[in-house]
């Protein structure tokens, strides 16, 4: 019997691609709910903006699959399911709380950090594998995720956290 080939870096890359494809699709479902829940208009707008970006990110991933000659396919990612579930818990438990928006930002940033970690790895592996076009697409998404994370931090420290505190004091 022929010996089974050991898995390679390109297999890891494909697995991670499926993982983030699954994650982006889950995020696409979660973001409108977070936008709807957000009290602050700027936060609502930030979630809506990122929802539109996420749709493009899904499209970019599909392009990367195509570049590899593969069908776009997700692979169950318990990590993102858990992160999104924690966000749902916040939406539920803080529904009537002035701290809801602060909680929503924290949940969204957990998602962003997961994505930044994944896309960072994928970019490095695409680079190593000489997949220049794929790397460019992934790097574009990585910078969108970083910008979103930054925008959320700014919104939290400039507005959302104070609003939560102010309303709590009233």
Question: Which parts of this chain interact with Fe ion (CB under 5 A)?
Answer: 54, 57, 115
Contact 46, 152 (CB under 8 A): yes
Nearer to Fe ion, 40 or 57 (CB): 57
**Cβ closest to Fe ion, residue 14 vs residue 144:** 144
Q: Hey, how many other C-beta atoms are within 10 angstroms of the C-beta on 26?
A: 16
Closest to 105 in 3D by CA, of 52, 166, 150, 49:
150
Nearer to Fe ion, 127 or 149 (CB): 149
Beta carbon of residue 91, minimum distance to Fe ion (angstroms, whole number): 19
Between 13 and 22, whose beta carbon lies closer to Fe ion? Answer: 22
Kindly state the smallest distance separating residue 131's Cβ from Fe ion, in Å: 19
Min separation Cβ 6 and Fe ion, Å: 31
Tell me how far apart the alpha carbons of residues 165 and 163 are, in angstroms, rounded to a whole number. Answer: 5
Tell me the closest approach of the beta carbon of residue 127 to Fe ion, in angstroms.
Answer: 20
> Where are the alpha helices (H) located in 38-99, listed in sequence order?
41-67, 78-93
CA distance 49 to 43: 10
**What letters, b where the CB count within 10 A reaches 16 and e where it falls short, cover 83-122?**
bbeebeebbeebeeebbbbbbbbbbbbbbbebbbebbebb
* Rounded least distance, CB 24 to Fe ion, Å: 5
Closer of 27 and 164 to Fe ion (Cβ): 27
């Amino acid at each position: 019997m022929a010996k089974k080939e050991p898995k390679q870096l390109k297999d890891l890359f494909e697995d991670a691609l499926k993982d983030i494809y699954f994650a982006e699709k889950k995020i696409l479902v979660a973001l409108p709910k977070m936008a709807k829940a957000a009290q602050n208009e700027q936060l609502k707008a930030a979630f809506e903006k990122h929802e539109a970006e996420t749709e493009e990110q899904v499209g970019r991933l599909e392009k990367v699959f195509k570049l590899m000659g593969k069908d776009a396919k997700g692979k169950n990612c318990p990590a993102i399911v858990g992160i999104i579930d924690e966000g749902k818990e916040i939406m539920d438990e803080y529904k009537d709380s002035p701290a809801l928006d602060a909680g929503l930002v924290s949940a969204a940033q957990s998602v962003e950090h997961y994505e930044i970690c994944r896309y960072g790895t994928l970019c490095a592996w695409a680079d190593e594998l000489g997949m220049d076009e794929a790397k460019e697409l992934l790097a574009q998404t990585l910078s969108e995720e970083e910008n979103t994370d930054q925008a959320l931090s700014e919104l939290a420290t400039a507005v959302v956290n104070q609003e939560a505190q102010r309303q709590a004091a009233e």
